[in-house]
């Protein structure tokens, strides 16, 4: 049986810090492993090393066969900007080049039907057929449809796709590529409920080896048979689904906590007894020395109590005062070439109001937010901010974070507060200690989310434009962010596929895209949040 991945004594570094030590495992064809742990535990960094994207600090990684790697933030290759999306996927099997060679060979036969040209065409045609060229387009369209990428989007250049669409396109390309090993980092980000269900079914029947980093419990339960837990306690492997892992992890934590407490009690008892015997008779002094030896041996094999799942709390300070109307949008329209994303969209947002933007993938939700932040120009219409409005934008792909610039410098750019205050704020978001001086480009996806949110807090905004802010967050952090925003009195415009997050924020109105229809919020719409 093919073993696509062998890992021995692996050591992984992120931002100059060792995050994983002595990791060893094998992954055979048909095996499916999930990697879990808190934000910053090293999951994404480990996946980068396993994929060969980043060098290991120690140990070895052996990959066999073809590898499909979905990055948490897929790189946007500018060279592929003008490539049609369908062709970009077909390139995963070199079919675009094969089709070009086949067409040139066909033309050569028309010009000169010699035996040499016929044989050359037959050779290319056989290679094209064996690579699945004649059924390629239908296969790609089937995968893209399963992942919620509309068929007409495949005819557009890659640059015309939204961030979420580009990610689904990359996932389509990877799944179509037919790899022996799939390494997927948060593959359900930007997927609606139907697309997640399709992906879970695909992965459950996938014949190759699969390793996936995800906070999506449904995905891990449906598609995974092994769990790798990364944390400061080290690396522990569990057999079974995510739910089975949680049960086993709870039992292990209870057992290890009991053992650690008993060891601590015995160490304290031996130290107290030995101290009480020192300076007395010679015999008691020998007994005290014997107890010191027993205590030292016990300390050498001492078990540290496990790290329990943290209770996380964030706090957003009160926003600065602003006018009654914070935003007014009139007749805004946007198109990419012949693709009209939306037309004549008009709405307003009042002070302290929460507006939910809903629509299917590709309906223009992110495009609308980018127009409001002036990162994209509207083709028609206009918008204006209210009096003393300070908008803050959370971008789903963390475009506001710059690789090569440390975390604290990002905070300084967002606020004039002193470093002590900024580091205190970072600590509130779980980014404490040396991480303040770490390159922001080396942070995990969850840590980037926290940094982006910390920048909003530091900048004293009174209108938040939130584009999928819970992506990449571990469950405790996701709940804590929702709780913090629930009690914040500023205005918000929200794009999210997370029903629990939306429910916590309790929006007052909803803007349906691409129609631009405005209505009052109804909790019955929560059933549609994950679909839109």
524 belongs to a structural domain: yes
Question: Is the domain of 372 the same as that of 513?
Answer: yes
CA gap 63, 211 in Å, rounded: 13
Is there a single domain that holds both residue 281 and residue 332? no
Q: What is the pLDDT of residues 90-125, one digit of tens each?
A: 888 877 777 788 788 888 888 888 888 778 888 878
- Residues 339, 470 within the same domain: yes
Among 179, 166, 161, 237, CA closest to 7: 237
Each residue of 424-455: pLDDT tens digit?
A: 888 888 888 888 888 888 888 788 888 988 88
In a domain, 209, yes or no: no
| CATH of residue 342 | 3.40.50.300
What are the backbone angles phi and psi of residue 69, rounded to the nearest 5°? -125, 115
333: β partners:
380
pLDDT tens-digit map of 55-90: 999 999 999 998 999 987 765 555 566 788 998 998
Q: Structure tokens of 230? A: 């990364």
* 252 and 364 assigned to the same domain: no
Residue that wins the pLDDT comparison between 509 and 248: 509
CB neighbour class for 418 (10 Å; exposed up to 12, middle 13-18, buried from 19):
exposed
Instruction: Tell me: do 350 and 294 sit in the same domain.
Output: no
Task: Answer for the pair 64, 4: CB distance below 8 angstroms, yes or no.
Answer: yes
Number of domains comprising the chain:
2
pLDDT (0 to 100) of residue 305: 62
Task: Tell me what pLDDT residue 309 has.
Answer: 53
pLDDT at res. 133: 76
Q: Are residues 291 and 330 in the same domain?
A: no
257 in any annotated domain:
yes
As a whole number, mean pLDDT of residues 163-171 equals: 85
Residue 129 pLDDT? 81
Q: Please check whether residue 305 lies inside any domain of the structure.
A: no
Q: Using H for helix, E for strand and C for coil, what is the string for 422-440?
A: HHHHHHHCCCCHHHHHCEH
- 158 within domain boundaries: no
Co-location of 415 and 471 in the same domain: yes
> For residue 304, is pLDDT > 70?
no
**Residue 122 resides in a domain:** no
Average pLDDT over residues 277-282: 78
pLDDT at 146 over 70: yes
Q: Is the pLDDT of residue 20 over 90?
A: no
pLDDT at 458 over 70: yes
Residues in the chain, overall count: 532
- DSSP structural state of residue 92: G
Tokens found for residue 130: 């064996």
What's the rounded mean pLDDT across residues 218-244?
76
Same domain for 287 and 402? no
| Residue in this structure with the two tokens 């090293």, named with its chain if needed | 42
The three-state (H, E, C) secondary structure of 144-189, written as one string: HHHCCCCHHHHHCEHHHCCHHHHHHHHHHHHHHCCCCEEEEECCCC
Question: Which residue has 């609308």 as its token pair?
Answer: 368
Query: pLDDT grade, residue 233 (50/70/90)?
Result: low
Mean pLDDT of 296-310: 67
> pLDDT tens digit string along 357-381?
998 877 889 899 999 999 889 999 9
Same domain, 504 and 381: yes
| Distance in angstroms between the alpha carbons of the first and the last residue of the chain | 42
Query: Rounded to 5 degrees, what are φ and ψ at 154?
Result: -70, -20
Q: What is the model's pLDDT at position 234?
A: 67
Q: Please tell me the pTM assigned to this model.
A: 0.67
Domain co-membership, 288 together with 364: no
In a domain, 407, yes or no: yes
State residue 293's pLDDT score: 85
Residues 372 and 413 in one domain: yes
Residue 318 located in a structural domain: no
Rounded-to-integer distance, Cα 272 and Cα 264, Å: 12
357 and 396 share one domain: yes
- What domain range is 267 assigned to? 245-300
What is the tens place of the pLDDT at every residue in 125-142?
887 787 777 888 889 999
């Amino acid at each position: 049986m093919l073993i696509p991945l062998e890992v021995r004594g692996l050591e992984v570094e992120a931002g100059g810090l060792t995050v994983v030590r002595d990791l060893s495992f094998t992954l055979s064809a048909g095996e499916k492993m999930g990697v879990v742990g808190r934000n910053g535990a090293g999951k994404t960094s480990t996946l980068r090393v396993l994929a060969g994207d980043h060098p290991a600090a120690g140990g070895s990684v052996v990959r066999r066969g073809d590898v499909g790697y979905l990055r948490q933030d897929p790189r946007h290759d500018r060279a592929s900007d003008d490539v049609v999306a369908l062709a970009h996927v077909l390139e995963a099997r070199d079919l675009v080049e094969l089709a070009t060679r086949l067409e040139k060979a066909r033309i050569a036969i028309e010009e000169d039907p010699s035996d040499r040209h016929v044989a050359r065409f037959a050779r290319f045609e056989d290679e094209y057929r064996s690579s699945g060229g004649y059924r390629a387009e239908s296969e790609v369209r089937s995968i893209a449809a399963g992942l919620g990428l509309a068929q007409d989007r495949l005819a557009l250049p890659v640059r015309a796709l939204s961030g979420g669409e580009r990610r689904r396109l990359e996932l389509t390309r990877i799944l179509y590529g037919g790899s022996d090993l799939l390494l997927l980092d948060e593959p359900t980000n930007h997927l609606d409920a139907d697309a997640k269900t399709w992906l879970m079914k695909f992965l459950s029947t996938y014949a190759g080896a699969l390793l996936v980093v995800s906070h999506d419990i449904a995905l891990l339960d449906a598609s995974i048979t092994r769990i790798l837990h990364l944390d400061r306690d080290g690396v522990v492997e569990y057999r079974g689904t995510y739910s089975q892992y949680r049960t086993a992890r709870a039992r292990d934590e209870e057992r290890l906590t009991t053992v650690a407490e008993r060891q601590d009690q015995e160490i304290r008892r031996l130290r107290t007894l030995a101290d009480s015997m020192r300076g007395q008779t010679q015999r008691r002094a020998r007994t005290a020395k014997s107890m010191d030896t027993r205590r030292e041996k016990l300390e050498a094999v001492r078990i540290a109590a496990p790290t329990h799942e943290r209770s996380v709390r964030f706090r957003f300070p009160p926003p600065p005062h602003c006018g009654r109307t914070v935003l007014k949008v009139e007749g805004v329209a946007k198109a990419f070439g012949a693709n009209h994303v939306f037309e004549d969209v008009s709405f307003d947002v009042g002070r302290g109001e929460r507006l939910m933007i809903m629509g299917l993938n590709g309906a223009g939700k992110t495009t609308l937010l980018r127009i409001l932040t002036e990162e994209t120009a509207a083709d028609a219409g206009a918008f204006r901010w209210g009096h003393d409005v300070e908008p803050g934008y959370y971008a789903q792909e963390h475009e506001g974070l710059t690789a090569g610039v440390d975390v604290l410098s990002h905070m300084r750019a967002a606020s004039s507060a002193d470093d002590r205050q900024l580091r205190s704020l970072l600590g509130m978001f779980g980014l404490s200690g040396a991480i303040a001086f770490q390159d922001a480009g080396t942070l995990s996806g969850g840590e980037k989310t926290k940094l982006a949110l910390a920048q909003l807090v530091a900048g004293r905004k009174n209108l938040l434009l939130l584009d999928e802010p819970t992506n990449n967050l571990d469950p405790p952090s996701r709940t804590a962010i929702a709780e913090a925003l629930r009690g914040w009195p500023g205005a918000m415009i929200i794009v999210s596929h997370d029903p629990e997050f939306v429910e916590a924020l309790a929006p007052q109105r909803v803007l349906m895209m691409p129609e631009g229809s405005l209505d009052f919020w109804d909790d019955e719409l929560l059933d549609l949040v994950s679909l839109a």
